[in-house]
Amino acid sequence: MHIDESKKFDKRNIERNLKEKIITLKEYESYLARLPDVSDKIYIPEEFEEQEKEEENELKKKKIKKRSSKG
């Protein structure tokens, strides 16, 4: 059976590839260890909402300053 090397460790195929002994658990663990750390890119909704509210407040303050400087 031909296995595409780029899909050998594809998340959707791991269980089948381990079961069919296409890859070993040790190979899979080694693959996972080589993956880059992207934990700084995680999306945390609470943080995003907080940042969004701060930006809205900044815009409101700027609009108020513009109005007060006109009149």
pLDDT tens digits, one per residue of 4-40: 888 899 999 999 999 999 999 999 999 999 999 999 8
Helix (H, G, I), strand (E, B) or coil at 35: coil
* pTM, rounded to two decimals: 0.54
More confident residue, 47 or 22: 22
Q: Where are the alpha helices (DSSP H) in the chain?
A: 14-19, 25-34, 45-70
